[in-house]
């Protein structure tokens, strides 16, 4: 790190010294700028929160009553002489990149992002900067996503075949972001759509934000049980291993995740099918996003850090890394199980959702 850096690493999280605030801190702080509402980035216990206007609903679902200030995308504010603005990250509803300007420098902290089109959130916006802080969740050349049209054709075909055979189609995915992207992409004419109780409050927040989703029901709202045999059931991964699944009788199970591109991942999870669907940028997306910023210095966080740093240095960029507590499956799973985004007593091991 350099003496005049706009973002430095502290035990509480990523800190802006001239502004005296943190970005997605993992320990309680007085002022936190939040890139998005996933549990590893938006945690309980901060005195004041700043996030994009689009994130308000999902943050309330996740964190309840907090001191929350919101900012429309692109609008600039000044705090302690630091000009701050939020720009679409394309990750989930309300996700934002944080642009900081001070002392002749411009820094951008990406949070999590994807560059592929997604009807459920604002599209990723490249922001010119001197220094770009990027995630690297899928920062390996093997990760290359297929177009959504091809992906959802596969999901719809799987659901149609199951419905014709009288089997429920149980699709496991994370309740926030991934579930809504699935709902927006499937063909709702195939059959009824049932969602888990962890998914429906987030659906409501998306609808309130103006995102179009097909009608969904909880299983307790279904009077005619024969409907379940034609249904698409969207639920968190934890529900697949619980007694909740028994009410659907014979079912085909699938998991939607970027990790499904890894050979053997579906088999190890015990799913019948795997669909490669991610809310993060793939390798070409990461490289394209970094290039579009024009940044000559790049700081890499959570994911395939060593590979990304080495590759970027080979391309002539000044590359280094921050050691963060982002990318934890454990935190997101805890939210979906009991509704709590509160961090566990011990910091989670770094992985990626």
285-312: pLDDT as tens digits:
999 999 999 999 999 999 999 999 999 9
Report which secondary-structure segment, H or E, holds 8.
strand 8-10
Can you spell out the DSSP letters for 93-110? Answer: TT-EEEEEEETTEEEEE-
Which tens digit of pLDDT belongs to each residue from 55-68?
Answer: 999 999 999 999 99
Q: Is the pLDDT of residue 351 over 50?
A: no
pLDDT at 353: 32
Which percentage of the chain shows pLDDT scores above 70?
92
Which tens digit of pLDDT belongs to each residue from 305-344?
Answer: 999 999 999 999 999 999 999 986 655 666 666 543 433 3
Q: Is the pLDDT of residue 4 over 70?
A: yes
pLDDT at 266: 65
Q: Is the pLDDT of residue 352 over 60?
A: no
Which tens digit of pLDDT belongs to each residue from 273-288?
Answer: 999 999 999 999 999 9
Q: Which residues contact 339 (CB under 8 A, 6 or more apart)?
A: 198
Which tens digit of pLDDT belongs to each residue from 79-112?
Answer: 999 999 999 999 999 999 999 999 999 999 999 9
The average confidence (pLDDT) of the chain is 92
Q: Which residues contact 77 (CB under 8 A, 6 or more apart)?
A: 71, 83, 84, 85
Which tens digit of pLDDT belongs to each residue from 112-156?
Answer: 999 999 999 999 999 999 999 999 999 999 999 999 999 999 999
Q: How far apart are CA 341 and CA 353, in angstroms?
A: 15
């Amino acid at each position: 790190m350099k003496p005049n850096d706009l973002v430095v690493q502290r035990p509480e999280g990523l800190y802006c010294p001239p502004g005296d605030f943190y970005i997605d801190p993992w320990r309680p702080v007085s002022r936190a700028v939040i890139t998005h509402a996933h549990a590893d980035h938006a945690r309980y216990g901060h005195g004041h929160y700043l996030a994009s206007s689009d994130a308000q609903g999902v943050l309330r679902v996740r964190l309840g009553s907090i001191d929350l200030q919101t900012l429309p995308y692109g609008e600039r504010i000044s705090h302690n002489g630091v000009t701050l603005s939020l720009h679409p990250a394309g990750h989930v509803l309300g996700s934002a990149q944080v642009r900081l300007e001070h002392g002749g420098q411009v820094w951008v902290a990406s949070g999590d992002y994807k560059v592929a089109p997604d009807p459920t959130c604002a599209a990723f916006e490249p922001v010119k900067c001197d220094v770009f802080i990027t995630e690297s969740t899928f920062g390996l050349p093997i990760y290359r996503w297929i177009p959504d049209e091809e992906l959802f054709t596969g999901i719809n075909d799987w659901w149609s075949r199951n419905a014709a055979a009288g089997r429920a189609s149980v699709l496991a995915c994370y309740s926030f972001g991934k579930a809504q992207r699935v709902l927006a992409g499937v063909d709702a004419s195939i059959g009824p759509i049932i969602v888990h109780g962890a998914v429906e409050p987030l659906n409501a927040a998306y609808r309130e934000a103006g995102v179009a989703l097909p009608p969904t029901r909880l299983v307790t709202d279904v009077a005619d049980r024969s409907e379940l045999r034609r249904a698409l059931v969207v639920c968190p991964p934890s529900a697949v291993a619980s007694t909740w699944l028994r009410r659907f009788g014979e079912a085909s199970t699938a998991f939607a995740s970027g990790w499904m591109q890894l050979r053997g991942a579906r088999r190890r999870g015990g799913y019948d099918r795997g669909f490669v669907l991610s809310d993060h940028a793939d390798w070409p997306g990461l490289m394209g996003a970094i290039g579009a910023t024009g940044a000559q210095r790049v700081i890499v966080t959570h994911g395939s850090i060593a590979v990304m740093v080495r590759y970027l240095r080979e391309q002539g960029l000044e590359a280094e890394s921050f050691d963060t507590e982002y990318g934890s499956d454990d935190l997101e799973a805890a939210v979906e199980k009991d509704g709590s985004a509160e961090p566990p007593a011990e910091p989670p091991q770094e992985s990626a959702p």
